[in-house]
Amino acid sequence: MPDPTNLRGQYVHAINAIDITKDYGKGEVLHRVTYQVPAGRIAALLGPNGAGKTTLIEILEGHRGRTSGTLSVLGLDPGDRRDFAKLRRRISVVLQQTMLEPGLSVRDVLRRHASYYPNPLEVDEVLEQVDLIEKRTALVKSLSDGMRRRLDLALALTGRPELLFLDEPTTGLDPLSRRRIRALVAGLRDSGTTVVLTSHDLVEVQELADRVDVIRDGEFIASGSPDELVRDAQAYTVVEFAAPEGLDGRLPEGASLVNGRVRIHTDDQDAVVRRVQEWAARERTEITGLTIVPPSLDDAYIAMLKDGQT
């Protein structure tokens, strides 16, 4: 069945995977998973080791066959040989480690790669984008790890992909480069590229992803925007303040003392702050150094995975 198209004739779902199962021969590792990514969005795929992320992504890329289910990627079926050949020009994959000829220069690697695509980006343009322009004549083998990651990304961008699979794009990068690469990925979305991101850096996921899908043991256990997942997981806000002198163990209800600070976990921060103020008035002490840290995607993710361990 063809995908529905929007008015501009583009696909509503860059990825439309329905009831996908995978059995490597020793039992199913994906159980009828349905995974849909709207075109032009950044989708993050999360899950613990062995959950089935790589298996699913490889099926979506067409590098691995599925046992059953229907699959449409940019309107084509990656499991079909002819469709796969067409998709290769429209999809890019950045793996955690890639093989490149170490003796070639950065520019030559990119030039050669560009020759595979009908309408590639200019080599210098893409090097500017990943902040590697000064290294254009350097040999691949002379690059640092972080520069190699940026070169991998440059290669992936060269063909102007409609769909980009990114595996841990900023691991090993220094903070400035990381910020730059994140801005670049966000910019790709603005230009209409769909991005599927796997990352264990949940701060990055929270910042970049429009939607997050969490897979465990071959099944999705949660899907939604980062904010929705945080809300649904009922992770706690942490209210803290500097422990006043001479407390003698007297703490507000439900509080604990951690590294010289009084800490309370809550899902109702206003009530807690009120209670803390009342407590301070009773104790005739001042509240100083008050911090209120809302739950993060990291907290939500951990709560989500704990919930399932019954």
Instruction: Please report, as ranges, the residues that interact with ligand ATP according to CB under 6 A.
Output: 24, 29, 47, 49-55
Please identify, among the stretches 46-54, 105-113, 146-154, 287-295, the one whose residues bind Mg ion according to the rule CB under 5 A: 46-54
Q: At its nearest, how many Å lie between ligand ATP and the CB of residue 304?
A: 15
Q: Which does 24 bind (CB under 5 to 8 A by kind): Mg ion, ligand ATP, none?
A: ligand ATP
Distance of alpha carbon 52 from alpha carbon 131, whole angstroms: 33
User: 161 touches which of ligand ATP, Mg ion, none (CB within 5 to 8 A by kind)?
Assistant: none
Which partner, ligand ATP, Mg ion, none, binds residue 105 by CB below 5 to 8 Å per kind? none
Contact flags string 52-71 toward Mg ion, x per CB under 5 A: -xx-----------------
> CA 93: distance to chain centroid?
14
The token pair at 157 is: 């961008």
Cβ distance to Mg ion smaller for residue 51 or 239: 51
Indicate the residue among 140 and 229 with the shorter CB distance to ligand ATP. Answer: 229
Q: How far apart are CA 110 and CA 159, in angstroms?
A: 10
CB-neighbour burial class of residue 66 (10 A; exposed 0-12, middle 13-18, buried 19+)? buried
- Gap between the Cα atoms of 168 and 94, Å rounded: 9
The Cα 169–Cα 181 span in angstroms is: 8
Q: Contact, 124 vs 169, CB < 8 A?
A: no
Q: Could you tell me whether strands 261-266 and 291-293 are parallel, antiparallel, or unpaired per DSSP bridges?
A: unpaired
- Restricting to residues 111-140, which ones interact with Mg ion according to CB under 5 A? none
- CB closer to ligand ATP out of 179 and 200: 200
Radius of gyration of the chain (CA): 24
- As measured in angstroms, the least distance from the Cβ of 49 to Mg ion is 7
Q: Give the residues lining the site for Mg ion (CB under 5 A).
A: 53-54
